[in-house]
Structure 1
Amino acid sequence: MSDDMDTELRNHPISGEPLPVATPAATMVIFRENPDGGAPLLLMVERIKAMAFAGGAAVFPGGKVDPADFDYAEMLHAPLPLDEAAARLAAIRETIEEAGLALGLSGVSDAANCIQAREALHSGESLQAVCNRFGWEPEFEQLVPWSRWRPPAFERASRVFDTRFYLVNAGNTTPLATVDQTENRMLFWATAGDVLEKAGRGEVKIIFPTRRNLERLAMFGDFDAAAAHAAEHPVSTVLTYVDKREDGSWLCIPDGHGYPVIEESLDSAMRG
């Protein structure tokens, strides 16, 4: 679960800098079993270069939490804090919009409904209206809280997001993900290690939070191991900061959040 104190932070606990107002957002890290064996496959979407945030980068599906997500969460009376329930609904909604996959929902049986649901969401309908139409119900427990990230104060205020990451298990299915061609230009399934290798070869770009999360995800051979690790590291906000040293400036995160790598040279780190 998220730490309620996180929403009350006004200054960075390490640098002391004022924290800019952040837009709530949510991201879904989708696992599926690798048909070739080995590490699980994760869904990545590559954003079009013109996007203001993470343009041209490979990211997990996700986006901003809308007011309608809060309204739906309040109506559902979920046994979760309102902001947590709204974030999980946003992750579900954004994954339908961006990848055409309806995950974290019960009652989804017809792929054609996913196509229609995506069209409806793109035309401005709410997730609540879509679920009512197709008889779907959110299953909050399918989304495993993984992390929550907020950038440092030096980032441009227009691009500061307070993003919650959730793990979702698609099991041994082969979900038919399709790119939306609006915010994203392509998508692909790959292991966390493969994405990191692609980034190392310059085949894809990944921003600092995505790189750190891929490094952490690469430690696990299946969904259950990653979920167990998440349970051992209850979510609290990862507040990045800059450490100025003799060898230059480093973009860092505090230790204790479960990440194997907690720093990168500011010169090489790709930010949103």
Structure 2
Amino acid sequence: MGGGDAPAAYEPGAVPIREAATVALIRDARVGGGVEVFLQHRVSTMQFAAGMSVFPGGGVEPRDYHGTRPWRGPAPQWWAERFGIDVDRAAAAVRGVARELFEETGVLLAEPAGATPLSTSPAPPPPPAPPGVAERRALDAGHGDLDSLLAAHDLVLSAHLLRPWDRWTTPVGPPRRYDTLFFVAALPEGTEPDGGTSEARAAEWIRADDAAQAGILGHLGMLRPTLDVLSDLASASDVAEVLATPRAIAPGGN
């Protein structure tokens, strides 16, 4: 073997904690009551949670802090108070989780920006065109930001479809650590998520109670935060109950 410097000693306590956000996308179960959740089964080559079943999401990026476009729903201060974080981070997390959801599933939490101006035409103008596949891929590749994309299509973020749910921090030990904000979101009417992300080998709708049971029995690999969220959702009778459930989120995360 050739010479060279020995690799630096790994110091678990020195690993930086990165900001992240993830969202459990839910819909009413087709049969028997309860809710279904959209799960992605990650590829085995991922640097974090390889091979695990997860919700859509990822790191909150610097571009998520640049947005200034108003949204529909609670103001950033409300989100900050629920998660126990500062206002700037709360706003970035809401944008970031919506961006990740769009990049990974094609579901865009957005709606027309405002009242349609009066027109002399006998028929109302058509609604804004949604972003296309090319724009989704560009955003996923790191080009542009969510606010600019929404502005280009005269849309605003539908933050009212989101709810704060939990917060978890990766314990000391792994080479990557995250302070992750967990959201839940109702699937917007007329939309359907896909498995169009290279980070997952497959994706599916599955009842929350079935997913939680599969996680407990080891039939699906998942990290504890994912299992805890699924266990919470498993007891809900429908999406309306989930959205109306008040949540007390531990300061600083679990």
TM-score of the aligned structures, taking structure 1 as reference length: 0.71
Secondary structure class of the residue paired with 1:215: helix
For the 8 Å contact 2:128–2:155, the answer to whether it is kept is no
Within 5 Å, which residues of 2 pair with 1:1-272?
20-72=15-67, 74=68, 76=70, 79-80=76-77, 81-103=87-109, 105-107=110-112, 113-123=131-141, 124-156=143-175, 159-170=176-187, 173=189, 175-200=191-216, 202-229=218-245, 231-234=246-249, 236-239=251-254
Q: Is the 8 A contact 1:96 1:117 kept in 2?
A: no
Shift of the alpha carbon at 1:133?
1.7
- The structural deviation recorded for 1:153 is 2.1
| One-letter code aligned to 2:159 | F
Please give the alpha-carbon distance, in whole angstroms, between the structure 1 residues aligned to 2:253 and 2:183.
14
Q: Select the structure of larger CA radius of gyration.
A: 2
Aligned length: 217
Q: Distance in 1 between matches of 2:164 and 2:192?
A: 24
Aligned to 1:245: none
Computed over aligned residues only, the root mean square deviation of the Cα atoms, in angstroms, reads: 2.6
Partners in 1 of 2:69 and 2:164 — Cα distance? 22
Name the aligned partner's letter for residue 96 of structure 2: A
Partner Cα distance (2:154, 2:48) in 1: 34
Cα distance per residue 1:57-112 (max 9 Å; x no partner) = 1100000001010011x565954311001001111000011111112x22397886
Work out the percentage of aligned pairs sharing the same amino acid: 27
Q: TM-score, normalised by structure 2?
A: 0.76
Give ranges in structure 2 of 5+ residues lacking alignment. Answer: 1-11, 78-86, 114-126
Instruction: Tell me if the contact between 1:120 and 1:130 (Cα under 8 Å) persists in the aligned partners.
Output: no
In structure 1, runs of 5+ residues without a counterpart are 1-16, 240-272
Tell me the amino acid that sits aligned with residue 44 of structure 1.
L
